[in-house]
Amino acid sequence: MTKRPYNFSAGPAAMPESVLRQAAEEMLDWRGSGMSVMEMSHRGKEFVQICDEAEADLRTLLGVSDDYAVLFMQGGATAENAIVPLNLIGRRPEHKADYVVSGSWSRKSQKEAARYGDAQVIATAAEAAVIEGREQAPFTYMPDPATWQVRPDASYVHLCSNETIDGIEFIDWPDMAALGQADVPLVVDASSHFLSRPMNVARTGLVYAGAQKNAGPAGVTIVIVRRDLIGHALPVCPTAFDYANVAKESSRFNTPPTYAIYMAGLVFKWVIANGGLTGMEAANRAKADLLYGYLEASGFYRTRIHPSVRSRMNVPFVLNDESHNDAFLKGAAAAGLLALKGHKSVGGMRASIYNAMPLEGVQALIAYMKDFETRHG
Ligand SMILES: *Cc1c(COP(=O)(O)O)cnc(C)c1O
């Protein structure tokens, strides 16, 4: 078996190799059932076991209490941008929702929510700012929670805790009670750093994440929602997207993305076997520190993100001389380092170093970057 290249894709992203191997082994016959998981009834005992086990493992990993429902849904985080307001904005008669706009994804979330009610931007990183003495360009820092203009009668406040495109991560989620807004639940789009570290779900009303960044293949969206927030869906909310229906039927109100749930379940078991979320955090910290440390010391490459919010998952960087971009990417691919091109909206490069990226992958990237600098610097 030849060694696989290192895949730095932002999503769908690299999966743990052992998970892919197990899925391959079980492809034709899941544990003597005579069926592939994709051939099973979603109401049969085999799939019910797979789905319930995935939920239980996820609850264990994140320490999710029974005050919360765990839902496996479809439509990705983009659909959830609509499904969240469809379910929550009506919990108060004013139909208000507050949005923190810290980058590309939260901007999209706010735009979508505005179709269903009064979705207001209550904090933004859209302006250049001086943060701790450093001049920061737009969307290279996170708006300080102390400055959020939360409306006390808002149905919720929405935050994207890891801006995948911009490379900004909100590490300590704010405590709405400490901000004097205990009645405004926090809703978090955690798609691109879900399961990368322990997360304080208890501080939130709802957390959602598309699986394809860090938790499995595309097709399943994970929603963790406090039960008291369920049951306020707007009349226009599609039946299959009403959290009350999905929760009541344990994510099997209609046919769920069965194979994607099975794969995510294998990833949950892989995380548990590899030290759980504290194990993931230690490994992710080591990888990110190594890469940012190198970028910081280099005169050839640079990162523009404020040090306090540099994402441990998505590391955007630029070559000071952008005329070398094509050569950089071509050489990287030839060296077995895939998908390093930055998002088209920000340009440059981006290395996504999710849970499944081993330290050796980051070391190989840095070795390539050093070599490239020697040849082009
Ligand atoms: C990828 C991503 C999305 C969009 O996910 P889709 O599955 O394409 O809808 C939304 N938010 C964040 C933070 C993401 O990383």
Locate the domains of the chain by residue range: 25-273, 276-376
For every residue of 218-245, DSSP letters joined together read: TT-EEEEEEGGG-S---TTS-GGG-HHH
Ligand 1 center to residue 284 CA distance, Å?
20
Q: Could you tell me if the CB of 13 is within 6 A of ligand 1?
A: no
Q: Could you tell me if the CB of 192 is within 6 A of ligand 1?
A: yes
CB 63 within 8 A of CB 84: no
The string of pLDDT tens digits covering residues 308-363 is 999 999 999 999 999 999 999 999 999 999 999 999 998 999 999 999 999 999 99
Ligand 1 center to residue 368 CA distance, Å?
29
- Pull the structure tokens for residue 55: 């939920």
Ligand 1 center to residue 176 CA distance, Å?
24
Q: Reduced to 3 DSSP states, what percent helix, strand and coil does the chain have, rounded to the nearest 5?
A: 40, 20, 45
Q: To test ligand 1's pocket by mutation, which of 84, 191, 314, 352 has the most ligand atoms within 8 angstroms of CB?
A: 191
| Prediction pTM value | 0.98
Q: How many CA atoms lie within 13 A of 257 on its CB side?
A: 21
Q: Could you tell me if the CB of 190 is within 6 A of ligand 1?
A: no
Residues whose CB is less than 8 angstroms from the CB of residue 264 and which lie 6 or more positions away in sequence, other chains included = 54, 72, 211, 215, 216, 217, 220, 222
Q: Could you tell me if the CB of 284 is within 6 A of ligand 1?
A: no
Q: Active-site residue among 213, 242, 287, 341?
A: 213
96 has catalytic annotation: no
> Nearest 5 degrees, angle CA 254-CA 51-CA 215?
105
Q: Could you tell me if the CB of 314 is within 6 A of ligand 1?
A: no
Ligand 1 atom showing the smallest separation from residue 221 Cα: 7
Stated as kind and residue range, the H or E segment containing 295 is: helix 276-297
248 has catalytic annotation: no
Check pLDDT > 70 for residue 2. Answer: no
Residues whose CB is less than 8 angstroms from the CB of residue 319 and which lie 6 or more positions away in sequence, other chains included = 300, 301, 325, 328, 348, 349
The string of pLDDT tens digits covering residues 244-257 is 999 999 999 999 99
Please report, for residues 75, 161, 209, 222, the alpha-carbon distance to residue 214 in angstroms, rounded to integers and kept in the order given: 17, 14, 9, 12
Ligand 1 center to residue 188 CA distance, Å?
12
The string of pLDDT tens digits covering residues 192-232 is 999 999 999 999 999 999 999 999 999 999 999 999 999 99
The CATH label, of 3.30.460.10, 2.30.30.90, 3.40.640.10, 3.40.50.150, for the domain at 25-273 is 3.40.640.10
Closest CA to 160 of 213, 231, 117, 93: 213
CB 157 within 8 A of CB 184: yes
Give pLDDT, residue 88.
98
Closest CA to 105 of 136, 143, 139, 131: 139
The CATH label, of 3.20.20.20, 3.90.1150.10, 3.10.450.50, 3.40.109.10, for the domain at 276-376 is 3.90.1150.10
Same fold, 25-273 and 276-376: no
Give pLDDT, residue 270.
98
| CA 80/CA 69 separation, integer angstroms | 16
CB 302 within 8 A of CB 318: yes
Ligand 1 center to residue 109 CA distance, Å?
10
Stated as kind and residue range, the H or E segment containing 277 is: helix 276-297
Check pLDDT > 80 for residue 1. Answer: no
CB 218 within 8 A of CB 76: yes
Q: Active-site residue among 148, 189, 242, 287?
A: 189
Nearest residue (by CA) to ligand 1, atom 6, is 76
Q: What is the 3-state secondary structure (H, E, C) of 343-373?
A: CCCCCCEEEECCCCCCHHHHHHHHHHHHHHH
